[in-house]
Structure 1
Amino acid sequence: MEPKRLYKSKTNRVICGVCGGIGEYFGIDPTIVRLLCVLLGCTSTGVILYIIAAIIMPEEY
């Protein structure tokens, strides 16, 4: 069995697929992850974390 990997989603994509990939990885609705991301996005830390995740996370193949 292959271990679970964290990827940017190709199907649940709004901007970069980061929130969709995190939602798929943890088995939760990506909309909930997006709402949390918006709440964190109100701070500069949340924006920086999203940008770093968009750069570091590989694309789903």
Structure 2
Amino acid sequence: MERKLTLSPDKKIAGVCAGIAEYFDFDPTLVRLAWLAATVFTCFSGVIFYIICWIVIPDRQL
């Protein structure tokens, strides 16, 4: 089965972190915490990357 990176329906904001977690088979909470830490330690540039991922990653087709 081919794996594809898609936005997850298990979402808090847009499903980006949960989609990344599903793709790499991680816990979504760990990915969200890592994203939060990266955002805080890089002077909130993680917000820009989150928005870019939200635009670029396709929505899941059921």
TM-score class, shorter:
0.7 to 0.9
Cα RMSD for the two superposed structures: 1.0
Aligned to 1:6: 5
1:7·1:58 contact (CA, 8 Å) conserved in 2? yes
Aligned to 1:30: 28
CA deviations on 1:4-54 (whole Å, 9 max, x unpaired) are 1000001x2000000000000000100000001111221232111111001
TM-score between the two structures when normalised by the length of structure 2: 0.86
1:20·1:30 contact (CA, 8 Å) conserved in 2? yes
Structure 1 ranges of 4+ moved more than 4 A: none
Gaps of 5+ in 1: none
Q: Is 1:51 matched with 2:43? A: no
